[in-house]
């Protein structure tokens, strides 16, 4: 296969949005790096982690909402559609925007790894690039396989210039514009 064929998207983003709108509720679709992907159904530990993070955000930044699985138009020229596990933005930021919102004004996206074969490529490679290209200031990855938390920030030139990884149990500083410290000891309870 030629490089030209490999870089060509599988479909237009408009076509993806139409397909995603008709997908059953049990299926979560994303369109990253020109490819259609199916996001794994979250398990109980995944849900407990996102609820813990929701409480942390409410405690430290009550003027912000952590939206669960809000669809975002991402990548260069908004050519992709992602559904992060969490999206931190001002209260009521997404009101009236529909299923696939623009990332302007989003402060942080959050992904919690799943135990599937695509998580390495999706959460550790493709999504950080897509979120950086969209100009989202902070990307938080809670990596259940590696028992680590990675914070990426300072998006420039389609990449995050800063990455900080800490083990579960360590304090993790979320840089501005998020601006608070997460204690991650509780994440040890959600390890398989």
How do residues 90-121 score in pLDDT, each as one tens digit?
999 999 998 899 999 999 999 999 887 777 77
The yes-or-no verdict on residue 187 having pLDDT over 60 is yes
Residue 163 maps to a domain: yes
129-152 pLDDT per residue, tens: 999 999 999 999 999 999 999 999
Q: What's the CATH code of the domain at 158?
A: 3.90.1570.10
What span, in angstroms and rounded, lies between the C-alpha atoms of 107 and 70?
13
User: H helices of the chain, where?
Assistant: 3-7, 13-22, 44-60, 119, 127-133
Q: Which domain holds residue 90?
A: 43-190
CB neighbours of residue 65 within 10 Å: 20
Residue 75 maps to a domain: yes
Residue 176 maps to a domain: yes
Residue 10 maps to a domain: no
pLDDT at residue 9 in the model: 67
What span, in angstroms and rounded, lies between the C-alpha atoms of 190 and 192?
7
Residue 29 maps to a domain: no
Number of domains the chain contains: 1
Residue 18 maps to a domain: no
Average the pLDDT over 150-173 and give the result: 97
Q: Are strands 80-82 and 71-74 parallel, antiparallel or unpaired?
A: antiparallel
Residue 85 maps to a domain: yes
């Amino acid at each position: 296969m030629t490089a030209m064929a490999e870089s060509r998207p599988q479909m237009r983003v408009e076509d993806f949005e139409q397909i995603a709108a008709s997908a059953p509720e049990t299926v979560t679709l994303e369109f990253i790096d020109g490819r259609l992907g199916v996001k794994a159904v979250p398990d109980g530990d995944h849900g407990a982690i996102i609820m813990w993070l929701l409480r942390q955000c409410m405690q430290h930044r009550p003027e912000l909402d952590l939206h669960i699985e809000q669809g975002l138009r991402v990548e260069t020229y908004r050519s992709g559609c992602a559904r992060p596990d969490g999206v931190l933005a001002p209260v009521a930021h997404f009101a009236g925007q529909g299923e696939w919102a623009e990332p302007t004004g989003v402060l942080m996206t959050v992904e919690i790894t799943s135990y599937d074969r695509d998580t390495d490529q999706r959460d550790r490679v493709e999504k950080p690039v897509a979120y950086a290209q969209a100009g989202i200031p902070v990307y938080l990855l809670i990596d259940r396989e590696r028992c680590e938390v990675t914070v990426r920030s300072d998006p420039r030139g389609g990449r995050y210039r800063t990455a900080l990884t800490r083990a579960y149990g360590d304090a993790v500083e979320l840089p501005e514009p998020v601006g608070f410290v997460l204690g991650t000891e509780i994440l040890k309870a959600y390890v398989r």
